[in-house]
Homo-oligomer: A and B are copies of this chain.
Amino acid sequence: MPTKETITKYFQSLQNDICKQLEKADGKGKFKEDKWERAGGGGGRSRVIQGQLIAKGGVNFSAVEGELPEKISTALQLPPSNFFATGVSIVLHPISPMLPIIHMNVRYFETVDKEAQSDYKKIWWFGGGIDLTPHYVIKQDAQFFHQSLKAACDRHHDSYYPKFKKWADDYFYIRHRQETRGIGGIFFDRLGPEEGITKEERFEFVKQIGEVFCPIYLYLVARNRDKTYTEQEQNWQFMRRGRYVEFNLVWDRGTKFGLDTNGRTESILMSMPPRANWVYNHQVEEGSREAETLSLLKKGIDWV
């Protein structure tokens, strides 16, 4: 069974690997690293890039531990416990509005017996996901994105893609706008032990998600990076980034949890765009590419 040490080490190497690939793709920007420690235990490595392709991108690794808040241990029907959590979290805001915003996260959580009781029911699970937020939805790209995720999921379990695709539609939803954040992707949480699925297999799946991130994003970048764009298109990008801010600050449970529990604010809010605009009651022109994009920010679209 993969231990927390194995998983932590893997996530660290995943962060290294992704940063290397993104620097290469950017061609100019280099990641700057901040190491930080958490008062209650553990810490992380936050890395941020500003380049000629990526306006602002964060690739975060963290491994934290400490006492599980009583509220949570009670909810999980556990005695007083310690917890351990590690993960990699990424948000990239490209310079060009012709390139999509992307988010990826893989994480592992476990509880640790505080008093070494023999009947202690240890809990562990994996979570994560990848979702894409194009400023302009391109149907072929959306199809490629979802097909790639489906292929990655299908190697592990037939139920994964349909279930996790729907989960992403429901999770990445800006309720007050009645819009999805983008074209979704996959989202999963609390993937623990289940009949016929071992911890090794769960870990292999999570590794796969971590490893398809770069090929998928860099393919989309390659297809669209040389497209020119107008000032009007850039303004649309700034407004779409405003929606990204709204989702993250109002609805994203991860952000909320982090800010509520005195997480490292600068690492949590690495997901904020470098610039966002708000225009009161902005209306798109009928038949425009902006209108088409809005019409595709809906739950339940079958992109595959």
Contact = CB atoms under 8 A, between A and B. Distances in A.
B278 A177 contact: no
Contact of A276 (B175, B266, B275, B280): B275
A245 B249 contact: yes
A269 interface: yes
Given A34-B281, A266-B280, A272 B242 contact: yes
B275 A238 contact: yes
A295 interface: no
A250 interface: yes
B275 A277 contact: yes
Contact of A177 (B58, B249, B265): B265
Given A176-B259, A245-B245, A245-B249, A273 B278 contact: yes
A175 B277 CA distance: 24
A56 interface: yes
Given A177-B265, A275-B238, A280 B58 contact: yes
Interface string A250-290: 10000010010010011011101111111111000000000
A141 interface: no
24 contacts: A34-B281, A48-B280, A48-B281, A58-B280, A175-B259, A176-B259, A176-B262, A176-B265, A177-B265, A245-B276, A249-B250, A250-B250, A250-B256, A250-B259, A266-B280, A266-B281, A269-B278, A274-B277, A274-B278, A274-B279, A275-B275, A275-B277, A276-B276, A276-B277
Interface string A231-253: 00000001000100110011000
Contacts of A250: 249-250, 256, 259
How many copies of this chain?
A: 2
Contacts of A278: 56, 269, 272-276
A296 to B, nearest CB: 20
Contacts of A259: 175-176, 250
A34 B283 CA distance: 13
B273 A56 contact: no
Contacts of A265: 176-177
Interface in A28-57: 34, 48, 56
Interface in A208-246: 238, 242, 245-246
Contacts of A242: 272
Given A246-B249, A273-B278, 12 more contacts: A56-B278, A58-B280, A176-B262, A242-B272, A249-B249, A249-B250, A250-B256, A274-B278, A274-B279, A275-B276, A275-B277, A276-B278
